[in-house]
Amino acid sequence: MWWGLGWLKDINSKGGLQLIHSDWVQMMSESGNIGLCLYILFAAFLLFKILTITWKYKGDIILTLLGGVTAGSFAACYFCMGFDNVITYAQQGYVLPFMLFGIFLKVVDLTRQGVFKVEEEIHS
């Protein structure tokens, strides 16, 4: 169970399992617990990075909104992966969070360079 054998595609083609309705189970069967843990660490690192940067610029409405949307899109995608084949059948659903992450990082970069100025502050 620790090592994935990558035999899932062969089992499916021979009439074994018809369809696994979870990307997490499919990843675990193809890459084992180690591969799944590495992917979960990658996902946790991305969410931590987004939330850390968003907290750092919490006075900037644009970055706070963009950081929240990016974190929400990753969380929704990871949640949907548990109940559907997001990676297998709806790749564009998995691309959107990474596009938002790239836009978020570019806006952070432009804010640091002074191209974007904080026009409105969030009042607590």
Three-state SS for 57-84 is CCCEHHHHHHHHHHHHHHHHHHHHHCCC
**Full domain range(s) for residue 74:** 8-113
**Going residue by residue through the chain (124 aa), what tens digit of pLDDT does each one get?**
445 555 555 555 555 556 667 777 777 777 777 888 888 899 899 999 999 999 998 888 888 999 999 999 988 888 888 787 777 777 777 788 889 999 999 999 998 888 877 655 555 5
d(Cα 6, Cα 79) in Å, to the nearest integer? 23
Distance CA 77, CA 51 (A): 16
Query: Are 77 and 97 a contacting pair, CB within 8 Å?
Result: yes
- Tokens representing 110 are 């432009």
Q: Is residue 12 part of a domain?
A: yes
Look at residue 82 and tell me if it is in a domain.
Answer: yes
Does 32 map to a domain? yes
Say if 119 falls within a structural domain: no
Whole-model pTM? Answer: 0.71
Q: Dig out the tokens for 60 from the structure.
A: 């900037």
- Counting the structural domains of the chain, the total is 1
- Asked if the structure places residue 122 within a domain, the reply is no
Q: Name the residue with tokens 């409405």.
A: 61
